[in-house]
Structure 1
Amino acid sequence: MNKHTRSILPIQMADFVIPDNSFMWLSLYFLLNLALTLYNKAVMQLFDFPFPWTLTGVHALCGAIGSYMFYWLGIFSPARLNERESMVMLLFSVLYTINIAISNVSLHLVTVPFHQVVRAMTPLFTIMLSIAFLKKNFSTMTYISLLPVVFGVVFATVGDYYFTKMGFFLTVLGTILAALKTVVTNRVQVGRLKLHPLDLLLRMSPLAFVQTVIYAYVTGELHRVRVFSRTEMTSSLVFALVTNGVIAFFLNVVSFTANKKTSALTMTVAGNVKQVLSISLAVVIFNLTITPTNGLGIFLTLIGGAWYAKIELTERNRPKPNEPPLGR
């Protein structure tokens, strides 16, 4: 599409301003993240569709199509990147895909409770990466508020803690990569590039889709999907997968925007709280049982998340020392 064609479109980027409301975006992130988690479980169970990489590929494909449609409508304009910056986007998409791959592989080598407990350490790795690479500082109260969040997830997922040496290594590596992905996502949106969330999704999704398909082919999942499609694919399943992809697209947009409006650490804490809320909803919807220890963990995580949010809001609104007057 050339610039003359784009100039006659009714919607221009100047007319599309993302509301600067961190609480609203975090709330949407929670709602869509929970919806997608439960919807994924429903698709896997109701349609017996045990193909996680294919489902991830559907998400990436819908992200590519959706972001291109918004670009075509003129809602945002892609930034011009040089070769080095384009390479950063390629590496970011590889990080996104490898993070999922290692998480999936490690789940086969450790128990789910152990996996969730290690992943609960993501905020701590995020802090270390932010200090090391972004030279950020955090208050003592921020560190203290993370304790109930982390220990809450530990208690909420208490159970059979079995792991192999390789499983332990891959689970820790996956947690570090998850923290790194969140930090990089924040950096490319608020750093020098200042990419629009839809611009970031437009660049990342096609690359992630190709990498996901390659991984599915190498692991043999793509062949199993072909066999499954010959006899089990129905219009209801196709509709469910497309709906799943649409939800994932909007979740990605909201997630990137919330990351840009808040911080990498806030997103990792939000992810921990979301995990506990998923457990709570699963108990109600799927008639699961929890122990008093699990209940204590859920309570601690929710309280810790609220405490952290209050501290961050207070610190964000606090005037910075030696801050120049507005307009200078």
Structure 2
Amino acid sequence: MMAKATAHSGGVLKKIILSYTYLAIWIVLSATVIVYNKYILDKKLYNWPFPISLTMIHMAFCSSLAFLIVRILKLVELFTLSRKVYLTCVLPIGALYSLSLWLSNSAYIYLSVSFIQMLKALMPVAVYTIGILLKKDSFKKSTMCNMLAISVGVAIAAYGESKFDAYGVTLQLLAVVVEATRLVMIQILLSSRGIKLNPIATLYYVAPSCLIFLSMPWVFVEYPVLRESYMRGVGLNVDFTIFGTNCLCAFALNLAVFLVVGKTSALTMNIGGVVKDWLLIAFSWSVIKDSVTPLNLIGYGLAFLGVAYYNHQKLQMLKAKETAEKKSAQQNDEEEGVVLLTEKRTEG
């Protein structure tokens, strides 16, 4: 018995260690991609102020690599989608994803890494509000009060921002709204049909559509600027090593998301995201030398408490759901046992 208990505890410990390892890998990769994108797009650093072009490069790279893994190497078994599902589900999600990436990457040109992470604290607010509007979630006064507390905290952080840029803030807030809409649409369009795509399959289906959608604004917004620079003989600062490693980090991040969600849960990733935001704020202040004011920290601290409480509520709801499912299964087993016992007595 003791040997079995020791083996069981050892298995649980191993599972916990692996879960935290996957989470740490995701945090490092996510932070790396954010800082890397900021470095490339910032006019004072690498000076490549073309967010649509950068996102298109990412999508082209991810599409090619996903095609190689799925079709050539056949390392991943693909979930076949019908044309109707692709047109009605995948394409709208791809359009929202491309717009979200475009807006969020554009914000890095105007805002600091630390302040962008503070604004991203509004994601639960946007997801909950859009969920109510699309009738995917129900209105609760306690939850709405929590959402208001998060919003007030972010507003205080924005008020204390020393390098506030209205255009940059607008871009990031729009990115939050679009990304929240995409997350809710995934639940409505895919999850409701029992369709679950791993990151490779997601890239295989979604990345090419993102590339097409991004090419539309690129033709009108960035292509004329790039063409004019070429005609004037102004060389573009293109370092294939930097862009190549940046694309590899973006692709690896998608795999890390699969590991974290697959081996733990989406809620664990949300909690890890809060840790990542604090680490990025500290990194932005200490290494990149972004200015972080006391009012920034007070506001984000309030928002952080709201997000932490929101995650706590979600965790309690999941535990209650699991408990209810176990009780239901136990009751079914007991009812089946009573039926079998009755049948045996009748036969006897």
TM-score by length of 2: 0.68
Instruction: Tell me: CA distance 1:206–1:86, structure 2 relative to 1, closer, same or farther (3 Å).
Output: same
What are the ranges of 5 or more consecutive residues in structure 1 without an aligned counterpart? 1-18
Aligned to 2:63: 64
User: Residue 321 of structure 1 is aligned with which of 320, 324, 345?
Assistant: 324
Instruction: Tell me: CA distance 1:285–1:105, structure 2 relative to 1, closer, same or farther (3 Å).
Output: closer
Aligned to 2:74: 74
Structure 1 residues 230-245: aligned runs within 5 Å: 231-233=235-237, 237-245=239-247
What are the ranges of 5 or more consecutive residues in structure 2 without an aligned counterpart? 1-14, 334-348
**More displaced stretch, 317-326 vs 193-202:** 317-326
Aligned to 2:36: 39
Instruction: Tell me the distance in 1 between the aligned counterparts of 2:22 and 2:140.
Output: 24
User: Residue 251 of structure 1 is aligned with which of 250, 253, 264?
Assistant: 253
**More displaced stretch, 307-316 vs 202-211:** 307-316
8 Å Cα contact 1:179-1:268 kept in structure 2: no
Aligned to 1:97: 98
Structure 1 residues 158-197: aligned runs within 5 Å: 158-159=160-161, 163=166, 174-186=175-187, 190-191=191-192, 192-197=194-199
Secondary structure, counterpart of 1:286 in structure 2: coil
Instruction: Tell me: CA distance 1:40–1:219, structure 2 relative to 1, closer, same or farther (3 Å).
Output: same
Instruction: Tell me: CA distance 1:256–1:95, structure 2 relative to 1, closer, same or farther (3 Å).
Output: farther
Larger RCO, structure (CA 8 Å, separation 6 or more):
1
CA offset at residue 56 of structure 1?
Answer: 0.7
CA deviation digits over 1:86-114, x for unaligned, max 9?
Answer: 11211211111233445577899x98899
Secondary structure, counterpart of 1:288 in structure 2: coil
8 Å Cα contact 1:97-1:212 kept in structure 2: yes
RMSD over aligned CA atoms reads: 4.2
TM-score by length of 1: 0.71
CA offset at residue 296 of structure 1?
Answer: 1.8
CA offset at residue 243 of structure 1?
Answer: 0.5
Instruction: Tell me: CA distance 1:141–1:187, structure 2 relative to 1, closer, same or farther (3 Å).
Output: same
CA offset at residue 298 of structure 1?
Answer: 4.0
Instruction: Tell me: CA distance 1:31–1:145, structure 2 relative to 1, closer, same or farther (3 Å).
Output: farther
Instruction: Tell me: CA distance 1:140–1:189, structure 2 relative to 1, closer, same or farther (3 Å).
Output: same
User: Residue 220 of structure 2 is aligned with which of 218, 228, 247?
Assistant: 218
Instruction: Tell me: CA distance 1:238–1:163, structure 2 relative to 1, closer, same or farther (3 Å).
Output: closer
Aligned to 2:200: 198
Bigger radius of gyration: 2
Instruction: Tell me the distance in 1 between the aligned counterparts of 2:299 and 2:214.
Output: 34
